[in-house]
Amino acid sequence: MAEARRPTIRDVAAAAGVSKSLVSLHYSGGGVSEERRARIVEAAERLGFRPNLTARALSASDGGFTGVLVADLGHSVFAEVVDAARAALARSGRAALLTSAMLPDADGVPRLDERALAIFGDLRPRSVLVVGSIPDLAALAGLVSGTPIVVASAASEGADVAATVRSDDVAGIRMAVDHLVSRGHRRIAHIGGRGGAVATRRAEAFAAALSAHGLEAQVAPSDFTEEGGHAAARSLLAEGRQAPTAVVAANDLAAVGALAAATATGAALAVTGYDDSRIARLPQVSLTSVDPRNAEIGAAAAERILAVEAGTEPPAETLVAPRLVVRSTTPPA
């Protein structure tokens, strides 16, 4: 029995009552009227047509898709940003191809996955969306030379990118500090400062916020991990009567580590996080956290990508205003 022939772009054009070139234009991300786009999509679905993106990428000036590179695929915050960005791109008829930009080395330290990114670059994405902090962003820019890059939920850290969309870290940290001060806390420490530009910026914002209240800032070095937050909190709580009554953590994972340390030592410690991640919303955790508005960040990043491709110059940096979500981990002093 002969194998059924796969539908072609000509079949879709005939079924939709449009030209082959118009169908090709639609699948390459070009401007097609909404009425004709709907006819093309309906015909393609009815025929079971799927464009060969790889073949088109190798034969065209670009692959007609947006590459999405994520610093950490396991981070729920980044997943929210990616989902919002992909939804916005899909509404504009744009396909997106997702992969992790990082790969753990033999010691478990995340490194830029140059082999995977080289393959990614060979497919010639029309644009690249980077979600999260990548240690060597400049090297990434070299691998996809000539392709516009937009960064979401991180800083560009000196790399040549088209635009950056991120949370207003200064405003978010200030909200957390103001909240703790309003609850009567005066000995407030920060857990963070390690892990790149975002960590540094949040530590600096904490020091400025404490100074504005006439309080002395104390920083316990930590990265963005639960283990780092636990170790930093234990060192703070070991100070006895001079130990802080409240902690502003650089993110939710470090905050969870601080809560675990407080529970283990029997200390009363108010804790805030940053990200309003899924773990913060768990009833068993109920963590007061800064919500960076990840969906807004993702949608805005997609808008910047489409603007760059259309030949317009978007703002170099967009700061999305966060909000503080108060839960049970910040009782009064």
Q: Phi, psi (5° rounding) for residue 87?
A: -65, -40
The mean pLDDT value for 258-273 works out to 96
Q: Give residue 63's pLDDT band: very low, low, confident or very high (50, 70, 90).
A: low
Domains and CATH numbers, the chain: 9-51 (no CATH), 65-167+294-320 (3.40.50.2300), 169-292 (3.40.50.2300)
Tokens read off for 290: 């800064």
Q: How far apart are CA 51 and CA 260, in angstroms?
A: 51
Structure tokens at 320: 């999305």
Is the model more confident about 182 or about 29? 182
Q: Please compute the mean of the pLDDT values over residues 157-184 and round it to a whole number.
A: 94
Look at residue 96 and give its three-state secondary structure.
Answer: strand
Look at residue 249 and give its three-state secondary structure.
Answer: strand
Per-residue model confidence (pLDDT) at position 324: 98
At position 188, the amino acid (one-letter code) is I
Q: Which of 285, 51, 35, 272 has its CA nearest to residue 175?
A: 272
Percent of the chain whose pLDDT exceeds 70: 92
Strand 288-291 to 246-249 pairing: unpaired
Highest mean pLDDT: which range of 34-38, 44-48, 116-120, 273-277: 273-277
Q: Does the pLDDT at position 59 exceed 70? A: no
pLDDT of residue 194: 92
- pLDDT for 279-315, tens place per residue? 999 999 999 999 999 999 999 999 999 999 889 999 9
With a cut of 50, say whether residue 135 has pLDDT above it.
Answer: yes
Q: What angle do CA 298, 90, 293 make, to 5 degrees?
A: 15
| 61 — pLDDT class (breaks 50, 70, 90) | low
pLDDT at 56: 56
User: Does position 226 have pLDDT exceeding 70, yes or no?
Assistant: yes
* pLDDT value at residue 107: 80
Q: At what angle do helices 20-27 and 34-47 cross, to 10 degrees?
A: 90
Three-state DSSP class for residue 81: helix
More confident residue, 244 or 119: 244
Q: What is the pTM for the complete model shown?
A: 0.80
* Position 207 pLDDT exceeds 90: yes
Single out the residue of 31, 22, 23 nearest to residue 311, CA to CA: 31
Question: 1 falls in which pLDDT band (50, 70, 90)?
Answer: very low
